[in-house]
Structure 1
């Protein structure tokens, strides 16, 4: 059963600032802290390779001490608003009606909503009452690809159906004003908010790249590398400095068996659609791909323009490829990493 990605659509949050305009806020945030830490924080922001980022939060809201409850209320309100706008835009782009969606997957890890976003979208867009819904909340940056994997499995089992994968993230909601750890500082420097929707189908006459295969790879004894701790103040970022080395150690074991089972090598892949976790991960993977004669220029550009938007980011990268006239039979590989620790892969063919 053939499954194809029909469209990818993004919506930018209403607030945006260039990195240079955020630096005065850092001075306010770091008031009373050691000057060395302040200088280091500014340097981290300046060297993060993120020129600007977008936010569902007004900048002063981000840098104002509020309760976890208040931040989560803003997150929920704004996620519903931008999520509704996003899916409407995606459906218009695809010329689909909302009641033609058979399977809706929403992914987000930066706030807590019960009921989840999909319930609000079903009501706002008047989707069918029998639409199958799946909220994915704990797979972090990998969840954009995870959502595609789950949608593919559903569509392969159900010919002639349609699925929507909706990623809406607000890392700004997880910024802790009283946390001066390196994990919080680095995440503040590299993350931005974003929203993206992918529409897929198993209809026989569909257009778009075909999903040829999917795979997950789980690292043993690596739960500590990435995630959130739920604290009284909010979601506290966990970001271990060993992440790049762990990826490097496992990279060939992730990539090569997946390609081999599809009778391919790296040479056969024309387009790499990689999630930009941050500067260090980007440089690591870029060096590995350079050795293979490949590049991840689009990944670098998405990081520069928007920052790391957790699960939505790789869909922004994918959109850049979807908007091009890629020759028939060329192949692409999507790859992302997330809490667990895990890697998610999708093989595409145009």
Structure 2
């Protein structure tokens, strides 16, 4: 095993929006009768999602929100959920806002200038000298992109606390029409935010919650599938609209083995040596494709499938919701190895190797 000692994951926190809906609730709310779309919703392996639906109009139906209102919704939800996830993460490790030295915020469901990090700092009264960064528009894989970048900062600043916040207001990225393209997106995503704390150095704070050390990262961008996941301007609806190619599960699955083998290369580990798999809850077909190509069991991906069932696809923060569930299980033992995997636009697969 490589002797490199990366930063330690110290704690995690999550937050969601105010209201949750079953898939049937959403179908009823928009009076969807198309049997193809209904089947898509009801066979998604999702029970409930947290959503902030459009307001009711005078006739009792949901009104179509213009893009400006969606941007306002994103700002309100992302700041609120992100701030609460950050506070939950700090509470998890017994830290205060005054301990924070670096804040990195991730979002792909809206555009903000000043960025989410500045807005959360103002909301919570974080020290104005706290370092910060914003990762915008990278999609569902972006949480691990942030973890890679912030790990470098933490390693260069031993003993100082860094936190990543992934805040995705997916309700602010919806379009409503009768197309299957839109239905695929609307059946899948939910609102949520997650935060993870890192501390670099040989001797992390002994009073903090012990977590795994980050050992290595590996990345793969599948440029031939660059347009398979994208956020386009819909001229007919005068708003942005997300597109998912139906072939995405197979594209991701076909490349999963390649990037995981690259991650483990030189470590002395094989896939069978990995004790914990934390994979992005990208959808039932995506999870199944990754399982088949990596030879994983249902037990291996239980946290991923449980998060999909209870929250839907939470975009960049999904894998941190899975990590939170692993922590709650309390089964990770010293010496255990874990692989984190996220997938998103590019098309991109990001991975990280961690060790407890």
TM-score, with length taken from structure 2: 0.90
Distance 2:274 2:292 in 1: 17
Which of 281, 306, 312 lines up with 1:301 in the alignment? 306
Query: How is 1:69-84 mapped onto 2 (pairs within 5 angstroms)?
Result: 69-84=68-83
Distance 2:119 2:125 in 1: 10
Does the alignment pair 1:235 with 2:231?
no
Q: Closer, same or farther in 2 for the Cα pair 1:171/1:276, shift >3 Å? A: same
RMSD: 2.0
CA distance, structure 2, for counterparts of residue 153 and residue 57 of structure 1: 39
Gaps of 5+ in 1: none
TM-score w.r.t. the length of structure 1 is 0.92
- What SS does the aligned partner of 1:14 have? coil
In 1, are the aligned partners of 2:140 and 2:315 still within 8 Å (CA)?
A: yes
Contact 1:299 1:317 in 2 (8 A): yes
Q: Which moved more, 1:153-162 or 1:313-322?
A: 153-162
* Residue equivalent to 1:321: 326
- Tell me, yes or no, if structure 1 residue 257 matches structure 2 residue 262: yes
Counterpart for residue 341 of structure 2: 335
Q: Is the 8 A contact 1:26 1:42 kept in 2?
A: no
Q: Secondary structure at the match of 2:110?
A: coil
Query: 1:274 pairs with 276, 279, 289, which one?
Result: 279
- The structural deviation recorded for 1:293 is 9.2
What is the CA distance between 1:39 and its match in structure 2?
A: 0.8
- Greater CA drift, 193-202 or 234-243: 234-243
Conserved 8 A contact 2:48-2:312: yes
Q: For residues 16-44 of structure 1, what are the alpha-carbon distances to aligned partners after superposition, in whole Å with 9 as ceiling and x for unaligned?
A: 111222221242xx4xxxx6xx1100010
1:13 aligns with 2:21: no
**Deviation at residue 59 of structure 1 after TM alignment:** 6.7
SS in 1 for 2:12: strand
Q: Counterparts of 1:182-261 in structure 2 under 5 Å?
A: 182-203=180-201, 204-206=203-205, 207-231=210-234, 233-261=238-266
Deviating more after overlay: 204-213 vs 65-74: 204-213
Tell me which residue corresponds to 2:166.
167
After superposition, residues 100-179 of structure 1 pair within 5 angstroms as: 100-178=99-177
More helix by share: 1
Give the Cα–Cα distance (whole angstroms) in 2 for the partners of residues 294 and 323 of structure 1: 16
8 Å contact kept, 1:107–1:137: yes
